[in-house]
Amino acid sequence: MAKEVREGHGATTVVEAGRKGGQRVKELYGAKFYAEIGKKGGQAIADDRGSDYYAEIGKKGGQAVRQRHGSLFFSQIGKKGGEAVKSKHGPDYYSRIGKKGGEAPRRADRRAE
């Protein structure tokens, strides 16, 4: 790892310098700034490589996670996520959104429109 040594200062790694720079940008422009530039970058990639690109890399990522942690891992993290949502929104949350989902048109129905 490259280090920079300045007079009167300790060595700073490239990673540390990047972290400090990122914190400074966040202080100046706010966290929303990163979300905005991320959306612009994501859209540029989708325009360049096609929207299927994200499906491809998501599938590859999911396969790598399954190889590393096993299929049971997805079940475990799904339960943790579900419990977190339930504690945040209340125990009847899934019932409410389930009713909304039941009223929504199906994908095949939407394609026909």
pTM above 0.75, yes or no: no
Residues forming beta bridges with residue 3, ordered by sequence position: 13
Which amino acid is located at 50 in the chain? G
User: CA–CA separation, 113 vs 94, rounded Å?
Assistant: 28
Question: Residues 7-60: pLDDT tens digits?
Answer: 556 788 999 999 999 999 999 999 899 999 999 999 999 999 997 999 999 999
Q: Which two tokens stand for residue 23?
A: 């914190």
Element (H, E) at 5: none
Question: Residues 71-101: pLDDT tens digits?
Answer: 899 999 999 999 999 999 998 888 888 877 7
